[in-house]
Amino acid sequence: MNIEKLAETLKVLGDPTRLQIVAMLNIRDLCVCELVPMFSISQPAISRHLSRLRSVELVKETRKGMWVYYSLNRQKLEEVGFSLSHLPDMTERLNELRVKGALPECK
Amino acid sequence: MNIEKLAETLKVLGDPTRLQIVAMLNIRDLCVCELVPMFSISQPAISRHLSRLRSVELVKETRKGMWVYYSLNRQKLEEVGFSLSHLPDMTERLNELRVKGALPECK
DNA sequence: TGATTAAATAACAATATCGTTATAAAGTAA
DNA sequence: TTACTTTATAACGATATTGTTATTTAATCA
């Protein structure tokens, strides 16, 4: 995952409500009406959080009749962990800057 | 790491500038005056980003004369990855809610 | 059809974030 | 001391985020 996308995904995960939703979905798929009573915020607020999680493909929705079930995209979550432990190698970028004289000599 | 602290740390990582700083510090320790020319934002802006990274102990600062060197706390970064792949088990919490009748029956 | 339920979207307010420029603080050196 | 360099902080504006209530959309059922 490129660094911009990784940052965007981490930002989505970096909210206590959304991270708890992810932890809940790690146990089993849940419909919105089950998620709402778990938190002390409104249904629309939960809906917006789910929308943000969906926007980075951390969760998937499936409509079943009146209900919408959300499930965790474990692969995406693993990808985040992997990308974090394999950050892009900036050695070359650092060399470029040094060659261009963009780096001061702080001895 | 508890879920609140994890969310806070992910939020700090969830910014493209800060994540790039982390990637740079993964190569070697850098002083602020080296970091500034790598980005097209002001020195105070970089300083604020470093302050946020410091606030969750992702980086450590060391003053050397006039210069302040920042280094990556790799242990903390690994901890984030580990916590992400070992989210707290919400099974019990889910049971509580079910027993209390807080979960609707969406069949 | 019309009523009901579940979920998403719209509109808005309060607060947080991130950038800027100006200034302060800390260290070096003439 | 005074001047200079490096970094942090202050003050402020623009924008993003997160919550609210009201409304819309989608599906079910009498």
Q: Are B17 and B3 in contact (CB under 8 A)?
A: no
Domains in chain A with CATH codes: 3-100 (1.10.10.10)
> How is residue B32 written in tokens?
């602020």
Query: Between the CA of residue A29 and those of A46, A73, B105, what are the distances in Å?
Result: 15, 11, 14
Contact B41/A at CB under 8 A: no
Q: What is the pTM assigned to this prediction?
A: 0.95
B104 and chain A in contact, CB less than 8 A? yes
- What are the pLDDT tens digits along chain A (107 aa)? 999 999 999 999 999 999 999 999 999 999 999 999 999 999 999 999 999 999 999 999 999 999 999 999 999 999 999 999 999 999 999 999 999 888 888 76
Query: Cα separation of A3 and B17, whole Å?
Result: 10
Q: Which pLDDT band holds residue B107 (cuts at 50, 70, 90)? A: low
Work out the number of other CB atoms within 10 angstroms of the CB of residue B30. 23
Give the other-Cβ count within 10 Å of A84's Cβ.
20
Residue from the list A11, A27, A33 with its beta carbon closest to the beta carbon of B91: A27
User: Count of alpha carbons within 13 Å of A66, Cβ hemisphere only?
Assistant: 4
